[in-house]
């Protein structure tokens, strides 16, 4: 399986040799959201989903990058940094672990 990156989207590319078709799906979307695309050449894959959304007046759902900014009060920022240092992990690792515990 190959990966395809295009205009903020990340997806898969697979080949059906019987009919020379390429297909794939957009990765990194909200849970329960499935977006697929197909074409005969890579450039068709890149535009299939975008064109579908334009034709049906649907919003484009881009893949999540894994990066986001969080705004905290200075007091909370201090407490979180102190806690992460106390247990010996980075601030980023602490926030990631805390979020994983909450949503998984």
Mind listing the pLDDT tens digit of every residue in the chain (104 residues)? 788 888 878 889 999 999 889 989 888 777 777 888 888 988 888 887 788 788 888 777 777 777 888 999 999 999 999 999 999 999 999 999 999 999 88
- Spatial distance between the Cα atoms of 77 and 40, rounded to a whole number of angstroms: 51
- Picking from 57, 44, 5, the residue whose alpha carbon sits closest to that of residue 26 is 5
pLDDT reported for residue 75: 96
pLDDT reported for residue 97: 94
pLDDT reported for residue 74: 93
pLDDT reported for residue 88: 95
pLDDT reported for residue 21: 92
- Spatial distance between the Cα atoms of 73 and 76, rounded to a whole number of angstroms: 5
Q: What is the pTM of this model?
A: 0.54
Provide the residue ranges of all domains of the chain, joining segments of one domain with +: 2-55, 74-103
pLDDT reported for residue 73: 94
């Amino acid at each position: 399986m190959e990966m395809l990156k295009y205009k903020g989207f990340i997806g898969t590319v697979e080949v059906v040799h019987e009919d020379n078709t390429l297909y794939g799906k957009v990765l990194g979307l909200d849970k329960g959201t499935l977006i697929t695309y197909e074409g005969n050449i890579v450039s068709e894959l890149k535009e299939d989903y975008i064109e579908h959304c334009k034709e049906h007046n649907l919003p484009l759902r881009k893949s999540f990058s894994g990066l986001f900014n969080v705004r905290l009060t200075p007091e909370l920022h201090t407490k979180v940094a102190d806690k992460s240092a106390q247990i010996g992990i980075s601030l980023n690792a602490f926030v990631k672990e805390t979020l994983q515990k909450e949503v998984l």
